[in-house]
Structure 1
Amino acid sequence: MLVQRVVMPASSLESWTVLGDDDLPVEPIERYLAYLTDIERSPNTIKAYAHDLKDYFTFLDGRGLDWREVRLEDIGEFVAWLRLPAPAREGKVMVLPSVEQHVSASTVNRKLSALSAFYQHASRHGGGPGRVADHLGSGGATWWMEAIPAPHQ
């Protein structure tokens, strides 16, 4: 998957999209990022969310999961996956317990905030997010962070 800068034809606003392996926009992500552009969120915010959702959909693809049917346990596995270095995410190397986490807690929290907003948008606009929306509530990423313990050092 690839994050790509785009300019909206009707408004000339800068935005971002996520292209799948077939070089086509990933539809659920595209709808959400277009919404963020329509409500005039900062292009930097949209770019960050595009990268966050690309990571999430890469994780889902690697496990054969549908974004509408994930469970809370899958979100926990996503957080653990984020903490791995890139080669380990692809299963190419094993990671020793002494290796530092690949991303900080604040980065994980931002990515979970992006997921929370994505699922809330999908829920409100008929995207059929399945069981995940039931776990979001109004707490969003804060709730997820409390539900997913940090690894032991």
Structure 2
Amino acid sequence: MYLSIRGDNKVPLKVEKTQSDNGVEKFVIVDENYNIIEEVVLFLNWLEKKGMSAGTLETYCNDLKEFFSWLEIKEMKFYEVRKRDMLSWLEYLETNAGKGKPKSARTKNRYLATIASFYRYYEGLGGWIESNPLTVKDNMKLNHYLNHPIRRKTLDFSFFRVKEPKSKNTRKLARSQIEALYEGIEQVQSEADLVIRNKLMFRILYETGCRIGECLGLRLNDYEYPKAGKNYGLLWFRTHSPLYHKDHRLKTLERQIPVSDDLIYNIDEYVCNIRPDSGQFQTILVNHRRPNEGKYMTRGPVNTFFNDLSRLVEIECTPHWLRHTHGTELKEAGFDSVYIQHRLGHSSINSTAKYMHPDLETQGIAYEKFQKQRRSALLQ
């Protein structure tokens, strides 16, 4: 892939996928002669040791490919960049990076965060850069008015960060909407086997709160029947080798979670009696029509299915909204945040917090219960 910059000037940098001796997938940036940019390799190896997923490493690598393409144009080394130079980078980011398409504030901030992290790594190594060109440090003196004072000079603040609009992709769906969507699946396709598969996919997403990639990556040995005396089975979201498709990558943590015995029996019914078996792929959910019959599913057709379902039922829904709905319902039912964090596969409790916004109707119901409990104490 070549990026066309300023007429005929072309920057021959591209991302290549490699594999280590132990089978781990890695990503590198190479030039037209397939020389590897070693500064990026060292940084990505450090991120890998910190436990970053393959998908995250690929994103970092792609972001840095754009940045090093800009460095080639400017004829600069990464350690020569100063804050004043970053204005040129921001212009390049807006007009050239990512095929020159317009970028949201969130995308811009992701690029900035990647590059700031890259410089933070070399700043920590010492001997490479004088300061991080994307951040500033608050050099305020020690505040003795605090009970537990901290030295603010240790905190970095982004200098070029763009203000992002409030996210709208964490909407909770009402129970009536969930039921309408589930029933509406029969309107999307007329074939009975596809209806059964799509209803199962919808149930897994709604009843586990898993990510769509985790759902599509589930394999035949990832579910477990209820044990004697138990009314729940288990689903296991984990990393598999070989990885069939990048859409199946586990974003964060491996985990095993309890699910209803009814869901387990639905999975088993689909696997035993409905699922086409090509003998090649072990994913639970597969394609049902030629030429891909029995092959694993990917995210594109799933997004199309949810778009069609939303249009037909006239209720907007995405796999992520089902995830958010599940997390919020757990919180409203009184489940501890640590339990929800594990169930949703969050590496940080801060990620769990965004799923904890009760809607106005839920707040109203809760307040009505509160009023009944304290009615005798109400002032007249």
TM-score (norm 2): 0.32
- Is 1:114 the equivalent of 2:131? no
Q: Distance in 2 between matches of 1:12 and 1:35?
A: 18
| Structure 2: gaps (5+ residues) | 1-12, 138-154, 163-380
Q: Which has the higher contact order (CA 8 A, sep 6+)?
A: 1
Pairwise CA distance, 1:78: 0.7
Aligned to 1:143: 159
Q: Does 1:60 align with 2:76?
A: no
Distance, in Å, in 2 between the alignment partners of 1:136 and 1:12 is: 40
Residue 4 (structure 1) aligned to one of 5, 16, 23 = 16
Give the secondary structure class of the aligned counterpart of 1:12: coil
1:77 and 2:88 matched: yes
1:123 matches 2:140: no
* Unmatched tracts of structure 1, length 5 or more: 90-100, 147-153
Supply the AA of the counterpart residue of 1:144.
F
Alignment match, 1:14? 25
Pairing 1:26–2:37 present: yes
How many residue pairs get aligned? The number is 132
Q: CA deviation at 1:127?
A: 5.8
Distance 1:83 1:7 in 2: 33
1:132 aligned counterpart, secondary structure: coil
RMSD over equivalenced CA pairs, Å: 2.4
1:102 deviation in Å?
2.5
Matches of 1:132 and 1:63, distance apart in 2: 18
- The structure-2 alpha-carbon separation of the partners of 1:85 and 1:61, relative to structure 1 and needing over 3 Å to count, comes to closer
How has the CA–CA distance of structure 1 residues 136 and 2 changed in structure 2, closer, same or farther, with 3 Å as cutoff?
Answer: farther
> In structure 2, how many angstroms separate the alpha carbons of the residues matched to 1:130 and 1:19?
27
**Residue number in structure 2 paired with 1:96:** none
Give the 3 Å change call, closer, same or farther, for CA 85–59 of structure 1 in structure 2: closer
TM-score for the superposition, normalised by structure 1? 0.75
Q: Could you tell me which residue of structure 1 aligns to residue 132 of structure 2?
A: 132
Query: Secondary structure in 1 aligned to 2:36?
Result: coil
Partners of 1:71 and 1:81 in 2: CA distance? 16
